[in-house]
Structures are given as C-alpha cells and as structure tokens.
Structure 1
Amino acid sequence: MNPFDGFGSPRHDGAEEVADGGDSRCPWARFSSWLECVCVVTFDLELGQAIELVYPQDVKLTEKEKTSICYLSFPDSYSGCLGDTQFSFRLRQSVGRRASKLRDDIYNRDAPVTLQRETAHFFGYVYFRQVKDVSVKRGYFQKSLVLVSRLPYTHLFHSLLQIIAPEFFEKLEPCLEAVCNEIDQWLSPVPGLTLNLPVMGVVLQVRIPSKADKPGGSPVRQTAKENLLPAPTVLPTIHELDLFRCFQSVLIHLQMLWELMLLGEPVVVMAPSPTVSSETVLALVSSISPMKFCCDFRPYFTIHDSEFREYTTRTQAPPNVVLGVTNPYFIKTFQNWPHIVRLGEIRMTGDLPKQVKVKKLSKLKTLDTKPGIYTAYKTFLHKDKILIKRLLKGIQRKRPPEVQSAILRRHLLELTQSFIIPLERYMASLMPLQRSVTPWKTPPQIRPFSQDEFMSTLDHTGPQLTSMLKGDWMGLYRKFFRSPNFDGWYRQRHKEMTQKLESLHLEVVCEADLLGWTKDKSEVEIVDLILKLREKSTFLPEWMEKLEFYEHQYLDFYEHLDVYEHQHLDLYGHQHLDLYKHQHLDLYEHLDLYEHLDVYEHQHLDLYEHLDLYEHLDVYEHQ
C-alpha cells in the first residue's frame, strides 16, 4: 500500500515572495505588514463626516468600508469630547477582499491565537480632535486621524497616535507622508522578536508576543545590545489594556462577566464615551485569554453601522456579539438583549469607585437609566471574595494601578487556565499513540470528542485541582459546549493535532527502509511515492537531503518515463491514464521535480511545522 493513499493533500494557494514583510519590489510591503492604511476623516458642512485623505494613495477601500470608517471615526455626540479623544473600532471587511495569505500564515503560525491577524475584519485606532476655531463656519475644528490595521495591537497603535497625531494636526499631509515612509522601513512583526520602531525622532521598542511564551510572563525589557540615540521608549506590551481602570466599577461582578464572555453571550456595553465603550469591550474580550474569543465584537458601534439592522432585529434571538455603544437611542433598541452593562464615566480616584448593581431587565426603559448590569443571568461559579479584598487593600495602600491590573490579569488567566486544562488534557488523549503511526498505512484518525466521556473525567482531573472557586463547573462546561467559543477552540486544536499527525507520519516514512519497500513495487508506484514525498517534505525541509538520496536511486525512471508511458498505455487505457494524470498533479507534464519543489516551498513555507501537543499540555499543567 502506498503510504499516502487516502491521506488528504494540502491546498496550494498562489505563491508569494515574502522577505522582510513582503517582496521588496512591491511598494509599501513593510508598511502593509503593520497597517492597511491611514485615513483622515473630517467634518464637511454639506457631506457630514467625509474621508479627506487615504494614505498610501493606492490603497483600495470599498465605498462601504469608507462609509463605515467615516461614521466610526467620530463620537456619536461631540458635546463631551472637547480636546483630544482616543478610541478603537472594528469593522467587517467587504466580501472579496484578500490579504497576503502566505504572510498571514507565517505570522499566525507563531503568534498567540489572541494576536493573530484578522482575516475578515479591520481594526480602527482613532485620534479625534475637537477644538474651537473661529476660522471654521461651525466654530470648531473637527478631525480624526485613523490607523486601519488587521492587527489587534491596541496599546502600540494608540501610543503611535499620541506621537504622530499632534504633529499631523499642525502640518497635515506632508507630515503623514513622512510618517508612512518611516513605517515602511520597519521590520515586519515577527513573533518572539524585539523590534526598534523609529518614528518622528522617537524609537518605540516593542516585543512581539509568541505562542511559545509563558502566559502571564514578564513584560518586555529594554535590550542593551544597541546604543540607540535617542534612547528607545520601551512599551511593556503591544496589546494589553489597563484592566483595573476598565473594570473598576464592576469588580464585584467580574466573575459574571468572565462567564458571559466564555459562553459567548450577547452583551451590550452602554458607555458615556467611545473611549470607555471601546476599552471596556476590548477588556471583556481579553478576559478569557489565552483562549480566543471566537464571536463577533464591536468596541464602538453606531446606528450608521452597516450591521445595525442585523444586530437590532427583534424577529430572532440576539446574535453572539459584544457591542459597545454610546448613543442613548440604543437603550430602547436593545431592550430585548439578555445582558446590558450600563457604565458611568471612568474616574480614577483614591477610593474604590461605586460598584454597579445587577438589576432586572424590566427596569431598562428610560433614557436616564442608571449604571448597572441589567440581566437575569445566574452565575455557575461563586464570586472570588479574596480577589476583591486584595484589590480593596491595594487601593487603601495606594498600590500603583499597573500592579492592580497585573493582579486582575493574573486572576483571569488562572481562572481561564483552570477551565481549559481539563479540556486540553482530554483533547490530547484523543491523539493516536505515536507507535500506531506506521509508514505503510494511512495515518490513524483522531478520536472524536465525546462530551459525556469528558465529563466523566472531571471528578479526577477537573478544575477543582487548580482553582479554589466553588460552583457548578459541570454546568458551565455543558453550556460552553453549545457556544461558538468551544467550536472555535475545538476546530483550532483539531487542526493542530492533524498537522502533528501528518508530521509524525512523514517522519516515520522518511526513516523507513524505502529501498526495501520498492523492491516489489512497479515503477509508477515508486514515482508516485517520490512525488508525494517531495510534496510533503516541503513542510519539513530537514528531511530534504534524505529524500534527494532516494531520488538519485530512481533517476532512470524520470529519464525513461515517456517510454514507460507508451509501453503501458494498453495496460491502463486512455481514460484511466487521464484520471491518473489528474490525480497526481499532471505527473507527465511536471518531470522537473526541483522546479516543482520551488513552487511548493514558496506556497507553504513550513505551513505544517507542528505543535507538540504533549509538551503543550505539560506547559499548561505546570502553569
């Protein structure tokens, strides 16, 4: 039996040349590895909000995307936004738009799942300025500078805006062009690397997180290898928010909010400003890290959004989405939603802010609705009173906010890991044993996930081993199995395990006695095997030398292939031969295996570099 019979071949997308973020011949290649574009949105007396400038100028945004960016780049109400305001939004890309798949595969392969590039959405990072200006008819200067990206680097891009936006509002387009050219000189983001990013006389030093990092590890430290002038500004994180500031008025309900995020429940955050709205939504979504939030979320959502009708229809149940809104109109619109978080203005004081109360949804009817969490949800787990006491003590002792945030982040991380470790352990048990992977048989299948079998393991290997929290853990798991987050988590883990299995199979094939296997095989079977090995080995280049040895042993098969075809035409028949050619990548038209290999190498670039599930599980257990 051919060891690759019945074994799915990978897809082959268009090859792209990637080096330092893209082909050096492609304009704005490095820039596009960080940003899609930079937009300037202004207020036009006749048109309303309008895009004044898009840079680079050859970036193609659809009219729908432009309209969405226009409305999402300005606060719903300008009255309380005098001065400078920063916030974030997320919008759906237009159908048919395609990014660099190869570049995404390389980055996403090594990045944590929570920091992978978006494939169907853009993030917008906004710096809005509104100041009095008598030279303008409305009496106010109103303009937004927007960084559009598919990377969720919230802290990095808002820090970048704080550097470039004030200068831009003074010098306008020439300043923007210079900044974009500087960004185009940056090295592309590579997980695990520390990069120095110069812009406008400032050097930002950042470390791009890697999936190999220990969750909750130490922040970036300044490297001493280079004597940079000016000295770099070290950003301790590229994506993390000040969780203590975001959650300060809902601390006693943190357990409930974590459960709602874990289960992918529909949630609306009603806030007094787009800053509070976007930060709270992003903080909520990040609360289940390192698990990826697999539902939709909109840090800032307006009535002009293209999905407004989709999300506000009353003819069906609310979708699994977290929305951040500021317009009071939404209080009436979202009355049928099961969970509404109404927030007041964030004020960092020396005392614990007044904690909002959980209230009945029936009380959410008036425009002057008081802050609170309006829901009928009953938590599966009990509150962590020790955490609340610790944070209260920190306030009394004037503990720095960043330390309070670190305590919160550690608590949420440990809570999520306690929940996910039993799932990881059970998932690893579904993997076939390595000794069952043999070179001459189709690789064994991953066993299906059985919810009942998993639940039976919880008595001995459940979250109670790593968490002090009491409650109905089994009930929480049962509801989690019905959520989009479980579906997304399972698909990702199954994909990683499949890649691991393919890697193991290729390894045992390459270490087997292929010469012995070929003794009683026909020439077509041998050539077929070599072609498939060549195809598979592009994912594990370290075995290329061994494969080339086998090729040299059978070089005469390639030289006499045309003769072989004519000799065996009657044996196979024209119809069978055509089918064989189609199934085996036009074998007779692609005799130059080395050229064939180059194409595959560019298409995949170690797409199947595997994840060692057992080592991965050990990491979780130690943590």
Structure 2
Amino acid sequence: MDSLSGAGPRRGRGRLGEASPGARAAAAPWARFSAWLECVCVVTFDLELGQALEAASETPSSASASGSVVGRGAPGMRKTDTTTVGLPCPCKQVKDSSVKRGYFQKSLVLVSRLPFVRLFQALLGLIAPEYFDRLAPCLEAVCSEIDQWPAPTPGQTLKLPVMGVVLQVRIPSRVDKPEYSPPKQCSHESLLPTPVVLASVHELDLFRCFQPVLTHVQTLWELMLLGEPLLVLAPSPAMASDLVLALISCLQPLKFCCDYRPYFTIHDSEFKEFTTRTQAPPNVVLGVTNPFFIKTLQHWPHILRVGEPKMSGDLPKQVKLKKPSRLKTLDTKPGLYTAYSAHLHRDKALLKRLLKGLQKKRPWDTQTASLRRHLLELTHSFIIPLEHYMASLMPLKKSITPWKTPPQIRPFRQDDFLRSLEHAGPQLTCILKGDWLGLYRRFFKSPHFDGWYRQRHREMAHKLEALHLEAICEAQNIETWMKDKSEVEVVDLVLKLREKLVQAQGHQLPVKEATLQRAQLYIETAIGSLPKDLQAVLCPP
C-alpha cells in the first residue's frame, strides 16, 4: 500500500540568497543540492523501537558533521545507527510473514531547512513510486538532478527538472503580499517538457485540508491565535500533517510562535512531556494517527478528530462540536472536543459561498483562494489596531536630536489599547460581530502576542537608531560641534557611530547609503582631531 503525506521542515524559516556565478563554480561539491535539501532518508518501522533511520544520503557538509569521509561523487546511501524520526513521508507496506507485525513498512523522507511543504510534497510524489521499485539507484540519480537546480533565490520563478518532469515554482520574498497568486509562466523558450506549475511552494490546498471542519474554521483560527494546545487525530499521517500545517498557516501574516508537530508518535522523545498530567499542556499543535493519544491526552483542552473524507449528499460531512466530557477511549467519533466558546460569530456567508462552490464544482485553487483571503482579512482586521497603537508609542521625529541619546519607545499599556478600540477597532475593517475585547484580552496572554510585540519593538528600535543616525549626519558641521568637546566626548561619538554603522551594514537599520557615507566621514574627521596615541587606539595598524 502506497500513501503520500506531507514533507518539509517542522518549523523555522531561513533567509535565502544566491552567490555569483563565479562563487557557485568554486563552491564545494553538492553545494547546490545542499541549498535545497539537507539529505534524503530511508526509514523503516520497528514495532518496538518505532521509526528507525535505515539509511541517508550524505553530502560533504553532512559528512563533516558526522565524522564520515565522503568522496566527491554523488551523495551515497550510508547505513546509520538507529535514530528516531518524526517527519511525515511516503511509505510502503509489504506483507512479510517473517516480521512480527506481518508486514514491513519503509518510508522515504526529505529533510530541508526550507519551509517549502508543497514543493517537497510534489517532489516526493515523483520520487517515491520510482524509489520503491528501483531503490538506491533512483535516489542517486535524483540527487544529481537536484544538484543542477539553480539556487532558491527569493522573487524568482524557477524551472526545476527532475525525473522527466519540470516543476515550475516562484520562490517567495519578503516583499510579497501574503495572498494566493500562482506564478507566471516563464516567457523564454525551453526544450524541457511542459512545466508542472505549483501555485505556491509552501501553501497547502487549504480548502481540501479544511473540508471536514469548515463550520469550525473561525473557532480553530481563534485557538491558533491564542496559542492553545490542540491535538489533531487523523486516519493517516498525510491527513494529520496536512491539517496541522494548514492550521498553523491560518494566522498569516502573523508569525506562528508556538511549537507544532505535523506527525507525532508515541516513540517521540517528548512523548512523556506532552502526556504528563502534573502540569498544563504545552502550547503545541500535535498531529497524530494513533487513537491511543485520545486516552493519554484526555486532559488536553482541545482535541480535533477527523475521519476519512465523507460526503453528506454532495457536500462534505462536517465534524460536530462536542464537550470534552464526551471523549471516549479509542472509539471516539469525529468531532471538535472543546469547552471553548468562540468570541466571534461565524461567517455564515463564507460557509454558504464555499459549499455552493463545491456543488458547482468550482476549482480547488479558487476555493482555497477564497478561504485564505477570508482568513487573511480576519487576521489583518485583528492586527491593524495593534499596529496603529504600537505606532503611537514611537517618539516623534522632532524629538530626536543629534547629540543626545534618542528618546525611548513608550511602554505598551493594555488598558490604553483596549480603550482605543472604541474608535479604532477591528469593526472598521471587519463585518464580524462578537466579543473582540475578550479575544484581545486572551491574546495578550498568548505566545503570539509576545512574539509579535518583541518583533515590532525591535523594528521600531532599529528605526529609532536610524533616525538618530540621520539626525547626526544632517546636523551642523562636525568640526563646529567638536570645538568645545572633550576627548572623551569625541571618542564616545566615534564608538557610537561605529556601532550604528555595524548595525546598518548588517541590514538591521533602514538607513540610506548617503547617510552611511557621511557617518564614515564623520568618524574619520573625529579621529583625525584626536592626539596620535588615541588615533592609534581607535585605528590600530
């Protein structure tokens, strides 16, 4: 039996860049492969030990980390010690009477630092059938093809050939708007086959994932917004991982700051931590398939169980909202088991529109675009008042003077913010009614508020430093300022300007190039005015 489920990293999002052609040519062997994948693993299931890593592709970079010596050929499959693996993957079960379970199960796993779930799903869909027929030689050939791929440069649309198919993808960038938009076809001619265009490298088919829970999408959005512990029990790793990844993507463009495990098993090293009843459940979303979790996690406040997709007439059958007291062991029926009452009223018009589109056989991508747009607008409506209030805490530009320490960002006072909602609340951009105040109060206690606030405060602090640097560089001539200043004050200015330049050059400060050049000139002028011994200290040979 073959089944395909999601792949890709559990969390984290790295910055991408591309080296020059000369640098790429001089790069270490398999550097291009490493830009996309860390390795390709083969995992077997042991009844007693759980997932055991049988073999993994090995590149020069991974070899140096493990202490192995590898030649400069294609990444080879190497045997490894038994290791627990918790990533969703394609798997194959074959009857085998010599195995205690009656069959052996083998899986193929891609490990990457990139959050390109949809791309890796498509890649696994191509690789897995061939691998299970031809085994290692197939993987070596695929690794060689991936090593020829161009770097995953943000903002570019790439054609990625593999196994006779071309995947056309657009690599997202920071300037992209978080909305559903398929990549444009490349205009240049190519001898390659017609590309298979992926509308997104990371976004899942949201509508397909949420079909059985459409009536509870807004409740689930609130649970994600508040960072509530949620167990997702599905009949397969594919459904479990896809639903978890769909849930954590609901908050875009708000960064998801909690832990999540698309596919979690009883063999995971953190099983005991998550199942203990001596402390509150952690802020994590778990995707599981073993009904045993219903018994061990009955103390969790929110449990979502979905079954195989079923239709009620020509519409998807919806899971019901149930109280946690209705939980039973193992044979628990599909449903959302929670005592949580949603703060916002359900958007019945959206549900009606989506179900009508299903009846009219509207394309899946169109349905997903409609659902994602709704969630995006909902999140925007929630965040905009927070952004406006946060912006009001920023000191005025006129209060920033060149030769004094810049003023501090004022503290975030929750009561002041809540009072501001009467005139600048989400009701200005969202038609949904409900207890918005109550939702904000609970949000303040969540990891997502802490993550959002820290990020915005850091960005504002950098902006403040940039404005201060600009004020210094736009002030009167530095020679005039230094006339009545002591050596200590001049040295202090040099050190501060240098610190600001280091920050700016690390892209932490939004400063114009002309400002940086003037700051460097100020540093040189200030140092030149000091005695030779101090110059030697500040500018060692």
Aligned to 1:408: 371
Structure 2 CA distance, aligned partners of 1:528 and 1:66?
57
Aligned to 2:458: 495
Structure 2 CA distance, aligned partners of 1:224 and 1:348?
42
Q: Residue 316 of structure 1 is aligned with which of 274, 279, 284?
A: 279
Matched, 1:68 2:92: no
Deviation track 1:326-377 (CA, whole Å, cap 9, x = no partner) reads 1111111111111111111125797212211111212212321111111111
When normalised by structure 1's length, the TM-score is 0.74
Report the alpha carbon displacement of residue 182 of structure 1 after superposing the two structures with TM: 3.3
Structure 1 pair 268–556 and aligned structure 2 pair: CA distance change class (3 A) = closer
Letter matched to residue 54 of structure 2: E
Q: Residue 262 of structure 1 is aligned with which of 225, 232, 249?
A: 225
Q: Residue 545 of structure 1 is aligned with which of 507, 517, 521?
A: 517
Structure 2 CA distance, aligned partners of 1:548 and 1:250?
58
Q: Residue 510 of structure 1 is aligned with which of 452, 473, 479?
A: 473
Q: Residue 183 of structure 1 is aligned with which of 131, 146, 166?
A: 146
Report the 3-state secondary structure (helix = DSSP H, G, I; strand = E; otherwise coil) of the residue aligned with 1:289. Answer: coil
Structure 1 CA distance, aligned partners of 2:104 and 2:283?
38
Aligned to 2:10: none
Gaps of 5+ in 1: 1-16, 74-87, 89-125, 566-586, 593-623
Aligned to 2:8: none
Aligned to 1:37: 39
Structure 1 CA distance, aligned partners of 2:487 and 2:435?
62
Structure 2 CA distance, aligned partners of 1:46 and 1:481?
43
Report the alpha carbon displacement of residue 403 of structure 1 after superposing the two structures with TM: 1.4
Deviation track 1:517-546 (CA, whole Å, cap 9, x = no partner) reads 222334564455345424422425544433
Deviation track 1:239-280 (CA, whole Å, cap 9, x = no partner) reads 111122111111111121111111111111111111111111
- Segment of structure 1 superposing worse, 308-317 or 138-147: 138-147
Structure 1 pair 64–131 and aligned structure 2 pair: CA distance change class (3 A) = closer
Letter matched to residue 118 of structure 2: H
Structure 1 pair 556–490 and aligned structure 2 pair: CA distance change class (3 A) = closer
Report the alpha carbon displacement of residue 410 of structure 1 after superposing the two structures with TM: 1.0
Residue correspondence of structure 1 range 75-474 to structure 2 within 5 A: 88=88, 126-131=89-94, 140=103, 142-225=105-188, 227=190, 229-347=192-310, 351-474=314-437
Whether contact under 8 Å (1:245, 1:346) holds in the other structure is no
Deviation track 1:136-181 (CA, whole Å, cap 9, x = no partner) reads 9987563211111222211011111122223333333333233334
Whether contact under 8 Å (1:523, 1:557) holds in the other structure is no
Structure 1 CA distance, aligned partners of 2:311 and 2:174?
34
Between Structure 1 and Structure 2, how many residues are aligned?
Answer: 500
Whether contact under 8 Å (2:49, 2:267) holds in the other structure is no
Whether contact under 8 Å (1:380, 1:472) holds in the other structure is yes
Structure 1 pair 42–542 and aligned structure 2 pair: CA distance change class (3 A) = farther
Structure with the greater relative contact order (CA < 8 A, sep ≥ 6): 1 or 2? 1
Structure 1 pair 383–325 and aligned structure 2 pair: CA distance change class (3 A) = same
Aligned to 2:483: 519
Whether contact under 8 Å (2:53, 2:80) holds in the other structure is no
Matched, 1:561 2:532: yes
Structure 2 CA distance, aligned partners of 1:317 and 1:138?
36
Aligned to 1:536: 500
- Segment of structure 1 superposing worse, 304-313 or 501-510: 501-510
Structure 1 pair 191–498 and aligned structure 2 pair: CA distance change class (3 A) = farther
Report the alpha carbon displacement of residue 554 of structure 1 after superposing the two structures with TM: 5.7
Letter matched to residue 178 of structure 1: A
Structure 2 CA distance, aligned partners of 1:203 and 1:295?
35
Structure 1 CA distance, aligned partners of 2:157 and 2:387?
30
Q: Residue 54 of structure 1 is aligned with which of 53, 56, 72?
A: 56
Structure 1 pair 325–554 and aligned structure 2 pair: CA distance change class (3 A) = closer
Structure 1 pair 18–210 and aligned structure 2 pair: CA distance change class (3 A) = closer
Aligned CA RMSD, in angstroms, stands at 3.1
Q: Percent identity?
A: 65
Q: Residue 537 of structure 2 is aligned with which of 573, 588, 594?
A: 588
Gaps of 5+ in 2: 1-16, 68-78, 505-510
Structure 1 CA distance, aligned partners of 2:182 and 2:93?
35
Whether contact under 8 Å (1:221, 1:236) holds in the other structure is no
Report the alpha carbon displacement of residue 33 of structure 1 after superposing the two structures with TM: 3.1
Letter matched to residue 31 of structure 1: F
Whether contact under 8 Å (2:50, 2:267) holds in the other structure is no
Deviation track 1:27-51 (CA, whole Å, cap 9, x = no partner) reads 5443333222221113579977432
Letter matched to residue 19 of structure 1: A
Whether contact under 8 Å (1:350, 1:395) holds in the other structure is no
Structure 1 pair 429–153 and aligned structure 2 pair: CA distance change class (3 A) = same
Whether contact under 8 Å (1:427, 1:449) holds in the other structure is yes
Whether contact under 8 Å (1:262, 1:288) holds in the other structure is yes
Structure 1 pair 493–544 and aligned structure 2 pair: CA distance change class (3 A) = closer
Structure 1 pair 270–555 and aligned structure 2 pair: CA distance change class (3 A) = closer
Structure 2 CA distance, aligned partners of 1:198 and 1:186?
8
Structure 1 pair 156–61 and aligned structure 2 pair: CA distance change class (3 A) = farther
Report the alpha carbon displacement of residue 127 of structure 1 after superposing the two structures with TM: 1.9
Structure 2 CA distance, aligned partners of 1:47 and 1:356?
34
Letter matched to residue 473 of structure 2: C
Structure 1 CA distance, aligned partners of 2:488 and 2:81?
53
Whether contact under 8 Å (1:506, 1:537) holds in the other structure is no
- Segment of structure 1 superposing worse, 549-558 or 24-33: 549-558
Aligned to 2:71: none
Deviation track 1:465-520 (CA, whole Å, cap 9, x = no partner) reads 11111111001100110111111111111111111112222222222232322223
- Segment of structure 1 superposing worse, 59-68 or 414-423: 59-68
Structure 1 pair 458–46 and aligned structure 2 pair: CA distance change class (3 A) = closer
Structure 1 pair 471–544 and aligned structure 2 pair: CA distance change class (3 A) = closer
Structure 1 pair 247–171 and aligned structure 2 pair: CA distance change class (3 A) = same
Letter matched to residue 510 of structure 1: C
Report the 3-state secondary structure (helix = DSSP H, G, I; strand = E; otherwise coil) of the residue aligned with 1:129. Answer: strand
Whether contact under 8 Å (2:45, 2:51) holds in the other structure is yes
Structure 2 CA distance, aligned partners of 1:26 and 1:128?
33
Whether contact under 8 Å (2:310, 2:317) holds in the other structure is no
Report the 3-state secondary structure (helix = DSSP H, G, I; strand = E; otherwise coil) of the residue aligned with 2:290. Answer: coil
Report the 3-state secondary structure (helix = DSSP H, G, I; strand = E; otherwise coil) of the residue aligned with 2:315. Answer: coil
Structure 1 pair 172–385 and aligned structure 2 pair: CA distance change class (3 A) = same
Structure 2 CA distance, aligned partners of 1:533 and 1:65?
52
When normalised by structure 2's length, the TM-score is 0.84
Structure 1 pair 64–547 and aligned structure 2 pair: CA distance change class (3 A) = farther
Report the 3-state secondary structure (helix = DSSP H, G, I; strand = E; otherwise coil) of the residue aligned with 1:501. Answer: helix
Letter matched to residue 84 of structure 2: S
Structure 1 pair 392–438 and aligned structure 2 pair: CA distance change class (3 A) = same
Structure 1 pair 186–248 and aligned structure 2 pair: CA distance change class (3 A) = same
Deviation track 1:204-248 (CA, whole Å, cap 9, x = no partner) reads 222122232223152211121453523433211011111221111
